[in-house]
Amino acid sequence: MKTSDRKLLKGYYWNHDAIRKDMDKLKTIVNKIDSYSTDDFNKLHNWFIYHEQCILAHHHGEDGFFFPIMREKQPDFLIKIDAMEHEHIALDEGLAKLNGLFKELKSGNKTALDNFISAAKNYIDLVIGHLDKEEIIVNEVISKLPEAEVLKTELEYRNKIPRSEMALLMPWMVDAMDEKDKKYFFGLAPFFVKWIYNLSAKPKFEKLTSCI
């Protein structure tokens, strides 16, 4: 189901859509790897650092708010999520490995190309597989809860997101939205959010991703 057709957990799925789009960007980098200069790798690494910041912010929201709430409502939820903890560790290791390889490539070490390609492909497969499995678990829990309760929980979370974190995540999420969801998102957003997006967040994001 497309996120724009969902009524529940739109923010959660906007994050996941953005992560999947980042994996498409990483695939593009792999496919174009021989065409990049050391300066290009420096720019690409800046994008990947941003990707990592968004991933960490997303996990903070899950671990600090969303998952504990789900555990309260469905105790067996935590058991299923904890069973995926080894994947969280592998994801962190994948981020660290790619950061290290980006540093080598932007320093001019072209012998790191093959290692980068292998590490990037492994990271992509791990991320996509992790999202797919996590969504199955989350959907199972949500299906057992009243719709109004889920919407209330989502609103509570939105109201707790710091402005700095929203400024970080907003262009990343919007970039992965279809036109229907962009209209929905900005219809809910206060004026200052639209102002920040158009004046600062969107131009910075477009500059950051223009190297891919």
How many CB atoms sit inside 10 A of residue 3's CB?
21
What is residue 36's predicted lDDT score, i.e. its pLDDT? 96
pLDDT at 146 over 90: no
Q: Tell me how far apart the alpha carbons of residues 63 and 104 are, in angstroms, rounded to a whole number.
A: 32
The mean per-residue pLDDT over the stretch 137-142 comes to 84
State mean pLDDT over 137-159. 84
d(CA 208, CA 206): 5
For the stretch 191-210, pLDDT in tens is 888 888 999 999 999 999 99
CA 22 to chain centre: 7
Half-sphere exposure of 85 (CA within 13 A, CB side): 6
Give per-residue pLDDT as tens, 65-94.
Answer: 777 777 777 777 767 777 677 788 899 999
* pTM tops 0.75, yes or no: yes
Q: What is the mean pLDDT of residues 137-155?
A: 85
Give the whole-number percent of the chain exceeding pLDDT 70: 98
